[in-house]
């Protein structure tokens, strides 16, 4: 039977076979063959398992929950059915008022379309947010409450309760100060840029509620430098300066250039060498031969040194042991030296009593020197406040003076040519006032070497 079915499927799959039903395709017959699946593997369970009945059941359950708020099978009959007894008959008939006019019935009670859209279309209750009902440290707070109840039952007053009882009571009967009107000419002057007013009220309440401001440390109020943000240039830097002021500024710029020139000359002197000390062929030969000719003399000197060492070591080993008499004599001499030193110290202390005047003068001189050094150190610290500090690996370099020579001076601002850059001046000012560290332009370093490729079109031309 099986071979016959297989033969029919093979014949039906041929391209020239004609079916009785013209709507049936050969590919459909071939694809309708049942696939053989290995259900021992887990990946085939969901791929080839028919779960439509389960999905339909779950969808029906969800539909019942959305529409009725639960399963219909679990609801009582009273909520599903009702007894229809008809319209209730009313004896009084409603008479419309003449002034109202003709209106459609039920139009006023119909809800708006926007309200219908915003209404909930599902009877499923929203999920409960468990975190909203949780209290941080609930277990700890519960233990503290139980402990407080136990202490209250025993009549024990805790330290916190004592502090609350001893706290200064707040005068709630005091009248609040009335706010003055803005158009009152006699009101006090209020500076909006001034310091904030101190908080008025109970200090403990302000601390617990966090309304009292934290005291700012004094070291944060100190300025890193006493220099002004914008330094005023010397009078000689004006566009039409006085002769002597301009000459003084030129002399200052000249001193800066001379100082730079001297620093460069010092570096050149340190790196310079004497040409007479250069190596020649003769000196090179002497250096190569040194140590080869005078080898015998060095060997004799080494032997003599070894003999002296042996003699010294032998003298140490051949020293005789001291007798008891010699030890007693050395001990007596040591005690005598100690006694003599103590007597000398005592005599010196007695002599110092007659030298009180000179000692006082020496102490006064020492105090004056200490005071002078302290004043010098304080003056140095004050001078350092106006100097740039070393904040990074680079040292601050003062910018060049922006100055014009005598033949470059212009008589008016219209003919004046600008000098320097405002951006670089502000950047150097921040460095000089110790607000940022001195910096230099980052050097661009290629990670890979550049490759020059000649294009094909250019190669064809050349």
Instruction: Kindly provide the b/e burial profile for residues 224-257, where b requires at least 16 CB atoms within 10 angstroms of the residue's own CB.
Output: ebebeeeeeeeebbeeebeeeebeebbeeeeeee
Indicate the pTM of the whole model: 0.41
Residue 61 belongs to what domain range? 1-75
Cβ-based neighbours of 181, under 8 Å, separated by 6 or more: 187
Cα–Cα distance for residue pair 52/47, rounded to 1 Å: 12
Report residue 78 CA to chain centroid gap. Answer: 68
Q: Which residues does the chain have with pLDDT short of 70?
A: 1-34, 90-108, 170-182, 185, 187-192, 194-201, 293-302, 304-319, 462
Tokens matching residue 339: 């006694």
Query: Do residues 148 and 158 lie in contact, with contact meaning Cβ atoms separated by under 8 Å?
Result: yes
Whether the CB-CB separation of 263 and 257 falls below 8 Å is answered with no
Q: Three-state DSSP class for 46?
A: helix
What is the rounded CA–CA span in Å between residue 377 and residue 316?
58
Q: Residue 281 has what pLDDT?
A: 87
Per-state percent for the chain, helix, strand, coil, to nearest 5: 50, 0, 50
pLDDT digits (tens, 9 = 90+) for 116-128: 888 888 888 888 8
pLDDT value for 44: 85
Examine residue 40 and state whether it is found in any structural domain, yes or no. yes
Quick check: is 100 in a domain?
no
Number of domains in the chain: 1
Per-residue model confidence (pLDDT) at position 273? 79
Asked, for residue 121, whether it belongs to a domain, the answer is no
Q: Which residue has the tokens 């000359």?
A: 265
Is residue 398 a contact partner of residue 259, using CB atoms and an 8 Å limit?
no
Q: Does some domain include residue 379?
A: no
Whether 292 is covered by a domain: the verdict is: no
């Amino acid at each position: 039977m099986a071979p016959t079915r297989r033969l029919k499927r093979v014949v039906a799959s041929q391209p020239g076979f004609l079916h009785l039903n013209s709507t049936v395709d050969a590919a459909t017959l071939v694809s309708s063959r049942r696939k053989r699946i290995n259900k021992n593997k887990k990946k085939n369970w969901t791929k080839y398992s028919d779960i439509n009945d389960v999905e339909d059941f779950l969808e029906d359950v969800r539909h019942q929950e959305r529409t009725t708020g639960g399963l219909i099978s679990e609801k009582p009959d009273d909520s599903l059915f009702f007894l229809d007894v008809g319209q209730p008959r009313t004896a009084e008939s409603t008479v419309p008022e003449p002034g109202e006019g003709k209106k459609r019935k039920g139009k006023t009670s119909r809800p708006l379309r926007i309200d219908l859209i915003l209404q909930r279309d599902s009877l499923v209750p929203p999920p409960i947010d468990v975190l909203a009902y949780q209290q941080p440290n609930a277990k700890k707070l519960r233990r503290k409450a139980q402990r407080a109840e136990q202490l209250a039952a025993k009549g024990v007053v805790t330290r916190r309760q004592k502090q609350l009882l001893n706290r200064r009571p707040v005068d709630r009967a005091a009248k609040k100060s009335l706010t003055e009107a803005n158009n009152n000419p006699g009101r006090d002057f209020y500076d909006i840029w001034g310091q904030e007013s101190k908080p008025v009220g109970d200090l403990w309440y302000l601390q617990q509620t966090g309304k009292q401001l934290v005291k700012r440390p004094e070291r944060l109020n100190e300025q890193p430098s006493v220099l002004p943000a914008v330094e005023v240039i010397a009078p000689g830097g004006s566009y039409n300066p006085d002769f002597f002021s301009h000459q003084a500024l030129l002399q200052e710029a000249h001193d800066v250039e001379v100082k730079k020139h001297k620093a460069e000359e010092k570096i050149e002197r340190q790196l310079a060498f004497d040409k007479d000390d250069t190596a020649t062929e003769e000196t090179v030969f002497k250096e190569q031969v040194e140590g080869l000719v005078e080898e015998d003399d060095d060997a004799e000197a080494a032997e003599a040194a070894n003999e002296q060492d042996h003699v010294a070591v032998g003298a140490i080993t051949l020293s005789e042991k001291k007798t008891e008499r010699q030890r007693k004599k050395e001990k007596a001499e040591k005690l005598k030296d100690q006694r003599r030193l103590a007597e000398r110290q005592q005599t010196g202390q007695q002599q110092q009593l007659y030298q009180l005047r000179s000692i006082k003068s020496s102490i006064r001189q020492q105090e004056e020197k200490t005071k002078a050094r302290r004043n010098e150190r304080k003056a140095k610290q004050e001078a350092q406040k106006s100097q740039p500090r070393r904040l990074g690996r680079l040292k601050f370099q003062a910018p060049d003076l922006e100055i014009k020579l005598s033949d470059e001076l212009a008589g008016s601002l219209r003919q004046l040519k600008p000098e320097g850059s405002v951006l670089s001046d502000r950047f150097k000012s921040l460095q000089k006032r110790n607000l940022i560290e001195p910096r230099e332009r980052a050097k661009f370093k290629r990670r890979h070497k550049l490759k020059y490729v000649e294009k094909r079109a250019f190669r064809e031309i050349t």
